């Protein structure tokens, strides 16, 4: 299978970058399934029903979340009725929505998407390792499902790497999101799981992790409160990771970071 996972969509710039480049990528890479992290899609904070519909119309099959999943309170009202929108599975029991979902891909193939959040320097949620273990107890890669993708929304690279090694040989891809900065450690581990510590963001990189520069700089310099941060509005970069899997085992045979548009140097698979 050919799967694309797009990093955190930050505001209008990120959405416009997806609209500009995703249709071409679908054709060029013959993509079977597309996932995007949408927790910053609404002006940098959360996601709305309207934006969800826009992203699905672009050809995104599943949207994952993170610590900003509830910043737009309307999400609490529609996430239960929208199976394609996920939030971290390790939120406490009773939280709206879900973090694990099984999707139908072309030619009858099945893709399991798992969304969990880290705990180092993050909210003290339930154990992400135990949460993923519970999800995998019900599905076997190369057996009941053809691909398993884990979006690990976490701050610390150590926690992300530990999760990658913990899952090696049992999932197709374990990719980090959240920090909005693409890392250079794309690799296929010995057991066949593709891994990257952070995909980066879909947004304006002439910014402080997607936010207009002035206020963040002032906060760091003066240690004083400022107005609410505003999302940067320059040309966005699409940052994603492309993974190809073996049809029988579901393990990765290829991982390629993708960066298109905006200020970052372009990177596109051959």
- As annotated, the active-site residues are 68
Backbone angles phi, psi at 250, to 5 degrees: 80, -5
Contact 205, 263 (CB under 8 A): yes
How large is the C-alpha radius of gyration of the chain? 17
- Determine the Cα angle at 179 with ends 177 and 182, to 5°: 75
* Beta strands, E only, 97-186: 100-104, 110-117, 147-153, 173-177
Q: Which two tokens stand for residue 195?
A: 């891994």
Residue 55 CA to residue 44 CA, distance in Å, equals 15
Residue 170 CA to residue 19 CA, distance in Å, equals 33
Q: Among 124, 125, 128, 76, which Cα is nearest to 100's?
A: 128
Strand partners, 33: 3
Residue 258 CA to residue 264 CA, distance in Å, equals 11
């Amino acid at each position: 299978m050919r799967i694309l996972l797009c990093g955190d969509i930050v505001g209008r710039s990120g959405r416009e970058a997806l609209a500009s480049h995703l249709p071409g990528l679908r054709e060029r890479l013959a993509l079977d399934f597309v996932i995007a992290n949408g927790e910053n899609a609404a002006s940098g904070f959360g996601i709305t029903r309207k934006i969800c519909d826009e992203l699905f119309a672009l050809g995104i099959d599943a949207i994952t979340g993170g610590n900003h999943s509830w910043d737009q309170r309307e999400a609490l009202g529609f996430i239960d009725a929208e199976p394609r929108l996920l939030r971290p599975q390790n939120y406490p029991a009773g939280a709206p929505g879900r973090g694990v979902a099984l999707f139908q891909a072309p030619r009858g193939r099945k893709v399991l998407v798992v969304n969990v959040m880290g705990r180092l320097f993050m909210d003290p949620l339930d154990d992400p390792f135990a949460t993923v273990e519970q999800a995998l107890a019900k599905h076997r890669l190369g057996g009941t499902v053809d691909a398993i993708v884990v979006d690990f929304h976490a701050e610390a690279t150590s926690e992300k790497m530990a999760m990658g090694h913990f899952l090696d040989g049992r999932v197709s891809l374990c990719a980090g999101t959240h920090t909005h900065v693409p890392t250079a450690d794309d690799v296929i581990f010995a057991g066949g799981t593709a891994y990257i510590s952070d995909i980066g963001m879909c947004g304006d990189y002439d910014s402080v992790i997607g936010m207009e520069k002035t206020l963040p700089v002032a906060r760091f310099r003066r240690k004083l409160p400022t107005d609410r941060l505003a999302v940067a509005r320059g040309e966005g970069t699409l940052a994603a990771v492309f993974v190809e899997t073996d049809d029988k085992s579901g393990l990765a045979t290829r991982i390629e970071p993708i960066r298109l548009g905006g200020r970052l140097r372009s990177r596109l698979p051959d």
